[in-house]
Structure formats: C-alpha cells, structure tokens
C-alpha cells in the first residue's frame, strides 16, 4: 500500500517573508475602517495577513514595532498590541462553536440526513 500525502497549505509571513504551514502562523485581518483584528479561528472574511510566531514573539519581547512597519505601516502599534494578546494564546486555531447536526432521528431508529 502506498501512503497518501495530504496537502498542507503554506502561507508567507509578512515580516520575515518565509513560508510556513498555515497552522503555525497567526492570522490578522483588516476591517472596513483599516484597523486590524486577530483571527484566532481563521474564519473572518477578507484577505488575511499572516505573521509567524517567531516574528511575533521577537516583536513582543523587544517591544519592537519597527519590524512590523514594512507590512502594517501606520497600524504597527495596534498590530503589536494584538500580537501581545495573541502570544498568550495556545498554538493553533481556537475551537469554535460546533455546527448543528443535519441528521434527525426517526421513530423507527433510523436516521434521516438532509
């Protein structure tokens, strides 16, 4: 038997410009007003901006918003604060609410799937 290799989506960190698996990066999205917000579940609409955990921890540890200015320009102080909050969260997406099941139980014990 041959093993099936799953595709792992890669994203590029906007600070160091290296590619990483999507699960290893932090995602920030820009709102309509231009302010950024942390997208822990990776579900918010729009184009996401990805920052690797190494760059985020370096910027937070050294209180260095200068490394963020190339990618985020005037919003670099706000992004640094978001990364401070995100650094305390565990790695990976945060679990969200579960979707309701589309299957309903019948009286005879079977299942109807919609």
For position 72, which CATH number holds? Answer: 3.30.1230.10
Q: Give the Cα separation of 51 and 24 in Å (integer).
A: 9
Lowest mean pLDDT among 10-14, 74-78, 83-87, 91-95: 91-95
Residue 15 belongs to a domain:
yes
* pLDDT bucket at 101, cuts 50 / 70 / 90: low
Say yes or no to pLDDT of 80 above 70: yes
Residue 109 belongs to a domain:
no
Among candidates 75, 88, 3, which has minimal Cα distance to 40?
88
Residue 80 belongs to a domain:
yes
Say yes or no to pLDDT of 4 above 60: yes
Q: How many domains does the chain have?
A: 1
Q: Give the Cα separation of 68 and 74 in Å (integer).
A: 10
Say yes or no to pLDDT of 29 above 70: yes
Say yes or no to pLDDT of 22 above 90: yes
Residue 106 belongs to a domain:
no
pLDDT at 46: 85
Instruction: Please give the residue range of the domain that contains residue 53.
Output: 10-92
Give the number of other CB atoms < 10 A from CB of residue 11.
18
Residue 108 belongs to a domain:
no
Query: Residue 85 burial by CB count (10 A; 0-12/13-18/19+): exposed, middle or buried?
Result: exposed
Residue 46 belongs to a domain:
yes
Q: What percent of the chain has pLDDT over 90?
A: 53
* pLDDT bucket at 98, cuts 50 / 70 / 90: low
- What is the pLDDT averaged over residues 16-44? 92
Q: Cα dihedral sign for 52, 57, 62, 64?
A: positive
Residue 2 belongs to a domain:
no
């Amino acid at each position: 038997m041959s093993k099936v290799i799953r595709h792992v989506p890669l994203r590029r960190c906007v600070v160091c410009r290296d590619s990483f698996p999507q699960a290893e990066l932090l995602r920030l999205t820009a709102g309509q007003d231009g302010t950024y917000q942390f997208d822990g579940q990776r579900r918010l609409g729009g184009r996401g901006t990805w920052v690797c955990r190494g760059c985020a921890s370096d910027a937070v540890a050294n209180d260095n918003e200068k490394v963020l200015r190339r990618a985020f320009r005037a919003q670099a102080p706000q992004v640094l604060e978001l990364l401070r909050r995100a650094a305390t969260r565990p790695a990976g997406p945060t679990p969200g609410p579960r979707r309701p099941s589309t299957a309903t139980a019948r009286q005879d014990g079977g299942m109807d799937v919609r």
